[in-house]
Amino acid sequence: MKLISISVLILILSFTIASGATTIGISPGTMTFSKVLKGGYAEQYVQVTTNFPRNLSGHVNIIGDVAAWIQIEGNYTLFNFSAKNPLIAKIIVTPPEDAKAGNYTATIEFVTDRITSVSGGAGSAVKASAATILKIEVVGEELIACTIGAYSIYSTEENEPIDFSATILNTGNARIRPKIELNVWDQLQKNLLLKYEFNAPEILPTTRREASAKIEQKLGLGQYWVDVTVPDCKSTELLTFSVVEKGTIADDGDLHGIFVRPFFYVGDIADITAVFANRGPRPVLAKFKGQLYQDNKLLQLLETDEVQVKPNQQEDFKIFYTPTKAGVYEIRGRVNYNNKLTYEKSATFTALKGPEQQYEFSFWPLLIYLLILLLIIILINKIREELKKKH
Amino acid sequence: MRLPDSTATLQFLLLLCIAVLSILLFLPLSPVSEGGGIGNPNTSVITRVNITNAAPYVYNLSIINTITLVPNATTWVWCAALVEDLNTVADISSVNATLHNTNFSLPNGVDYNTTHYTNSSCTNFSDVDSFTRLYNCTFELWYNANPGNWTCNITAADAATVSDSERITTTVNELIALMVGDLIDFGKVAVLNYSDNIHFNVTNVGNKNINISVYAYGSRDNDTLAMVCDYGNISIGNIRVSINSSDITSPLDFNTMTIVNNSNSTPTRIANLTVLQYNMTYTASINTTVWRLYVPNAGRPSGICNGTVVFRALRA
């Protein structure tokens, strides 16, 4: 099988190289927007890919009677993509208020630019295009629907707020801000101790957002139950948490490491990732703080934005640096989370002179070579002289 | 320096045997039972068992939710799992995995680019503790892997060949993709003459069958031209396409060939040109189109003539 795969690869590569071919792909091939409200909103993503190793430029055509309803987030018409950097475009559909209810279709076409031209005679440069068909159903009736999941509630210490969060997907066709009702009951679920209500942030149709709240509490130590009701999503869920003594909950975080490619050219952007995991029982606010050294000399202090990391979740802190000189660079740092620090981790990378910089004339090594050569000649001469004297 | 003599070699071998024997003396004993008396109903039996082998346990699998393939290339997919063995991780002898299309293949099926992949030796990624190890199983998925639900099935075995399996599902997205050359070169054509048949291949490099449409223009969309020349131009009706490749060596009748549209909103769907997903043979996913150009006197073209042809792939 491997042999067949390799043969096929060779065949494909040879075909590609021989013909100077262009490839383009789109995923998915059709996008269905169901029950979009007049004056409403819907979105989906499309990914445009190629196996071309270098940047390939292209343009987008939105075609059809309802092209005016369709836009790509960012409203761009020109784009660049490559094998390593596919284009991920958010397609937004917004039918006007006066649109007639019914089914519509449109096409979005991503076209590569020409990469060659005719040098003699007559010819046509070929552009490759991949298109996706949009099927849009417009309705006049408002449909309120959503699904809710990924509930999280964490045990807390006395007088500390309760952290609650959930993710809501708007499956209807109208914007919603669902009301979330939380009732906190005692351990036997007989006495209602606390009621809390809040509204999720506005969620557009077909999109999902997290709704979270910090609920102040003065409950005693022990276990409690919370029933969560979201009427818009027709959902109820029972959760539990505990209130424990001060100092009982120990935040626990771990900086797995700092990761960076070992070699870059001077002028390239070094993409550094510090990977942090929250191993504790509650969310923490975390940020990476570190230093960048070149040849053991402090170059720069590094600090990222603070983000919330949930229990058992991992956060990749990204740092970008453009080395201006060749040499060995070291990044050392820790993650600061809820006023605690992880162990320090480090990583190194080497910035190399670019291919055009590698042939710079260097004076000092040549001088040293010449001096040594001179010394050898002097010594040989001296020895000869001594030998002559003896004879 | 003195070379070792044969007595010294023998002394060394003896010491080696003593060392091996000492190690063997520390190996665990077999299960033991004691005190059982035949014919005595009230005999209490003390039994001891030394469990010498615990089965490995595969859990906590993870894989990317959806896989988007790259045209005419491969995509790496990682499927990871924790493997626990209470005889310590040293007892885990092998971890392998399969990734297969749930609708068209089985875990123990034959490897095939569109439906089934095997990794017979997953990588030991890191030790979580002395009993648990994280394994990473990678697969190199081809662009023509069938869209739909796929299952990653990871199996771990220990030294006693006891094994455990667990699975997780993911989705391969459909990929509508084509590969075309860069230029349709008609060469030198005199005014009032037709070009030769120019063969031009279109290859399906996705995982669904595709329909091909074409449109052409001189310098911009909908400009009524096929080509713009150093002097003058050639109008759109003078570039034609056909899929009649039965005898592409003799010139096709220009009048029977399909006129190419000039606008991206009304591209010419090349009739019967559905390029199949590469399933059984690579050549089946390649279709040849035949092109001809007529250079009329109208437009007074001369010099180098340049145009653009766009090949559009749509889901069939």
Give per-residue pLDDT as tens, B29-53.
333 333 333 444 454 555 555 556 7
User: Cα–Cα distances in Å, from B158 out to B89, B119, B163, B236?
Assistant: 9, 17, 6, 70
What would the mean pLDDT of A253-275 be, rounded to a whole number? 84
Which of B131-140, B227-236, B248-257 shows the highest mean pLDDT?
Answer: B227-236
More reliable by pLDDT, B116 or B268: B116
- pLDDT of A188 > 70? The answer is yes
| A111 vs B: CB within 8 A | yes
**Amino acid A351: pLDDT:** 85
Question: Could you tell me the pLDDT band of residue B272, with boundaries at 50, 70 and 90?
Answer: low
- pLDDT of B145 > 60? The answer is yes
B186–A122 C-beta distance less than 8 A: yes
The answer to whether the CB of B278 falls within 8 A of the CB of B204 is yes
The DSSP bridge partners found for residue A277 are A254, A314
Kind of pairing between the strands at B258-259 and B268-275: unpaired
Cis check: omega of the bond before B147, within 30 degrees of 0: no
Separation of CA A157 from chain center: 34
pTM metric for this prediction: 0.70
How many Å apart are CA A31 and CA B176, to the nearest integer? Answer: 13
The answer to whether the CB of A106 falls within 8 A of the CB of A134 is yes
| A44 vs B: CB within 8 A | no
- pLDDT of A216 > 90? The answer is yes
Question: Could you tell me the pLDDT band of residue A251, with boundaries at 50, 70 and 90?
Answer: confident
Counting one residue from A and one from B, how many pairs have CB atoms under 8 Å apart? 195
More reliable by pLDDT, A10 or A383: A383
User: Which residues make Cβ contacts (< 8 Å) with residue B141, sequence separation at least 6?
Assistant: B67, B69, B74, B75, B76, B77, B99, B117, B172
Give contacts of A28 with chain B, Cβ < 8 Å: 173-174, 176
A109–B174 C-beta distance less than 8 A: no
pLDDT digits (tens, 9 = 90+) for A46-61: 999 999 988 999 999 9
- pLDDT of A5 > 90? The answer is no
B307–A123 C-beta distance less than 8 A: yes
pLDDT digits (tens, 9 = 90+) for A77-115: 999 999 988 999 999 999 999 999 999 999 999 999 987
What would the mean pLDDT of A180-184 be, rounded to a whole number? 96
Q: Which of B107, B242, B210, B178 is nearest to A110 (CA)?
A: B178
How many Å apart are CA B60 and CA B80, to the nearest integer? Answer: 8
- pLDDT of B8 > 70? The answer is no
Q: Helices marked H in chain A — which ranges? A: 2-19, 363-390
Give contacts of B182 with chain A, Cβ < 8 Å: 19-22, 114-116, 125-126
The per-residue b/e assignment along A272-306, b for 16 or more CB within 10 angstroms, e otherwise, is bebbbbbebbbbbebbbebebbbeeeebeebebee
**In whole numbers, what is the pLDDT of chain A averaged over residues?**
87
The answer to whether the CB of B232 falls within 8 A of the CB of B198 is no
> Tokens 């040098």 appear where?
A119
How many Å apart are CA B310 and CA B214, to the nearest integer? Answer: 5
**Amino acid B174: pLDDT:** 95
Partner residue opposite B182 with nearest CB, options A86, A125, A131? A125
User: Which of A208-222, A365-379, B219-233 has the lowest average pLDDT?
Assistant: A365-379
How many Å apart are CA B304 and CA A122, to the nearest integer? Answer: 6
| B82 vs A: CB within 8 A | no
User: Cα–Cα distances in Å, from A269 out to A88, A283, A351, A356, B11?
Assistant: 22, 32, 10, 17, 63
Separation of CA A246 from chain center: 37
Closest-CA distance of chain A to residue B112, Å = 7
pLDDT > 70: what percent of chain A?
Answer: 92
A115–B178 C-beta distance less than 8 A: no
> Tokens 């703080």 appear where?
A289
More reliable by pLDDT, B200 or B10: B200
Handedness of CA B292, B297, B302, B305 (dihedral sign): negative
Give contacts of B69 with chain A, Cβ < 8 Å: 25, 27, 49
How many Å apart are CA B256 and CA B310, to the nearest integer? Answer: 21
Partner residue opposite B309 with nearest CB, options A12, A24, A124? A124
How many Å apart are CA A375 and CA A336, to the nearest integer? Answer: 59
User: Which residues make Cβ contacts (< 8 Å) with residue B142, sequence separation at least 6?
Assistant: A5, A8, B69, B74, B113, B114
**Amino acid B5: pLDDT:** 52
Kind of pairing between the strands at B66-67 and B163-172: parallel
What would the mean pLDDT of A10-14 be, rounded to a whole number? 41
| B186 vs A: CB within 8 A | yes
| B148 vs A: CB within 8 A | no
How many Å apart are CA A297 and CA A294, to the nearest integer? Answer: 5
State the number of CA atoms in the 13 A half-sphere of A2 facing the CB.
4
| B260 vs A: CB within 8 A | no
Handedness of CA A83, A84, A89, A90 (dihedral sign): positive
Partner residue opposite B282 with nearest CB, options A11, A51, A116? A11
**Amino acid B315: pLDDT:** 93
**Amino acid A388: pLDDT:** 82
If contacts are CB pairs under 8 Å, which of residues 115-144 in chain B contact chain A?
142-143
**Amino acid A362: pLDDT:** 55
Which residue on chain A is closest to B216 by alpha carbon?
A: A124
**Amino acid A364: pLDDT:** 65
How many Å apart are CA A27 and CA B70, to the nearest integer? Answer: 10
Question: Could you tell me the pLDDT band of residue B18, with boundaries at 50, 70 and 90?
Answer: low
Kind of pairing between the strands at A263-265 and A253-259: unpaired
What is the phi/psi pair of residue A215, to 5°? -105, 115
If contacts are CB pairs under 8 Å, which of residues 35-64 in chain B contact chain A?
none
Q: Which of B156, B161, B117, B307 is nearest to B225 (CA)?
A: B307
**Amino acid B187: pLDDT:** 94
More reliable by pLDDT, B303 or B280: B303
User: Which of A51-60, A109-118, B138-147, B202-211 has the lowest average pLDDT?
Assistant: A109-118
- pLDDT of A6 > 50? The answer is no
Which one of A22, A48, A81, A126 would you mutate to disrupt binding with B, by most B Cβ within 10 Å of its Cβ?
Answer: A126
Question: Could you tell me the pLDDT band of residue B100, with boundaries at 50, 70 and 90?
Answer: very high
**Amino acid A363: pLDDT:** 64
- pLDDT of B130 > 60? The answer is yes
**Amino acid B248: pLDDT:** 62
The answer to whether the CB of A355 falls within 8 A of the CB of A267 is no
User: Which of A1-10, A168-177, A271-280, B67-76 has the lowest average pLDDT?
Assistant: A1-10
- pLDDT of A236 > 90? The answer is yes
- pLDDT of A356 > 70? The answer is no
| B199 vs A: CB within 8 A | no
The answer to whether the CB of A173 falls within 8 A of the CB of A205 is yes
User: Which residues make Cβ contacts (< 8 Å) with residue A271, sequence separation at least 6?
Assistant: A260, A261, A318, A320
What single-letter DSSP state applies at residue B285? Answer: G
Give contacts of A7 with chain B, Cβ < 8 Å: none
**Amino acid B35: pLDDT:** 34
| B304 vs A: CB within 8 A | yes
**Amino acid A48: pLDDT:** 97
pLDDT > 90: what percent of chain B?
Answer: 61
| A61 vs B: CB within 8 A | yes
Question: Could you tell me the pLDDT band of residue A2, with boundaries at 50, 70 and 90?
Answer: very low
- pLDDT of A317 > 50? The answer is yes
